[in-house]
Chain A
Amino acid sequence: MTITRHELRQGKLSFTIWTVSIAFLLMVCVFLFPEMKGEMKAIGALFSSMGSFTAAFGMDRLNFGTLTGFYAIECGNVLGLGGALFASLIGASALSCEERDRTAEFLLTHPVSRVRITTEKLAAVLMQITAMNLIILSLSLLSMALISEQIPWKEILLMHLAYFLMQIELAGICFGISAFLRRGSAGIGLGLATIMYFLNLIANMADRAEFLKYITPFGYCEGADIVSDGALNAVRVAVGMVFAGCGILAAYLKYCKKDIH
Chain B
Amino acid sequence: MDAISIRQLTKYYGTARGIDQISLSVAEGEFFGFIGPNGAGKSTTIRTLLGLIRPTSGKAQVLGLDIEKDREAILSQTGYLPSEAVFYSGMRVRDILKLSADLRKKNCRESANQLCERLQLDPSRKAEELSFGNRKKVAIVCALQHTPRLLILDEPTSGLDPLMQKEFFDILRERNAAGATIFLSSHILSEIQHNCTRAAIIREGKIIACDRVEVLARTNAKRVSIHGTAELGTLDGVRDLKISSAASTFLYSGAISDLLAVLSQGNIQDLSISEPDLEEIFLHYYSD
Contacts and interface: CB of A to CB of B under 8 A. Distances in A.
Interface in A94-111: 101-111
Interface string A220-261: 000000000000000000000000000000000000010111
B3 to A, nearest CB: 17
Given A103-B88, A112-B72, A2 B54 contact: no
B61 interface: no
Interface of chain A, helix or strand or loop or mixed? loop
A102 B104 contact: no
B229 to A, nearest CB: 56
Interface in A54-111: 101-111
Interface in A1-38: 2-3, 6, 10
Given A101-B89, A112-B72, A259 B100 contact: no
Contact of A10 (B74, B84, B88): B88
Contacts of B52: 104-105, 108-109, 259-260
Contacts of A259: 13, 52-54
B99 interface: yes
Interface size class, chain A: 20 to 34
B80 interface: yes
B202 interface: no
A261 B43 CA distance: 11
Given A112-B72, A257-B54, A260-B52, A103 B86 contact: yes
Contacts of A260: 47, 52-53
Contacts of B285: none
B76 A111 contact: yes
Interface string A119-160: 000000000000000000000000000000000000000000
B86 A106 contact: yes
B90 interface: yes
B102 interface: yes
Given A2-B103, A109-B52, A260-B53, A101 B90 contact: no
A101 B88 CA distance: 8
Task: Give the one of A102, A104, A106, A259 with max B CB within 10 A.
Answer: A106
A105 B75 CA distance: 12
Contacts of A102: 84, 86
B67 interface: no
Contacts of A6: 88, 99
A109 B80 CA distance: 7
B273 interface: no
B132 interface: no
Interface string B38-52: 000000000100111
A113 interface: yes
Contacts of A257: 54
Contacts of B73: 111
B82 interface: yes
Interface string B8-34: 000001000000000000000000000
B87 interface: yes
A110 B103 contact: yes
A111 B54 CA distance: 17
A260 B75 CA distance: 15
Contacts of B99: 2, 6
Interface string B65-109: 000000111111010101011111110000000011011100000
A111 B75 CA distance: 5
25 contacts: A2-B99, A2-B103, A6-B88, A6-B99, A10-B88, A10-B90, A102-B84, A103-B87, A103-B88, A105-B86, A106-B82, A106-B85, A106-B86, A106-B87, A106-B88, A108-B51, A109-B50, A109-B52, A111-B75, A111-B76, A112-B72, A257-B54, A259-B52, A260-B47, A260-B53
Interface of A: 2-3, 6, 10, 101-113, 257, 259-261
Given A259-B13, A260-B47, 19 more contacts: A2-B102, A3-B103, A10-B88, A101-B86, A102-B84, A103-B88, A105-B82, A106-B82, A106-B87, A106-B88, A106-B142, A109-B50, A109-B78, A110-B100, A110-B104, A111-B75, A111-B104, A113-B71, A259-B53
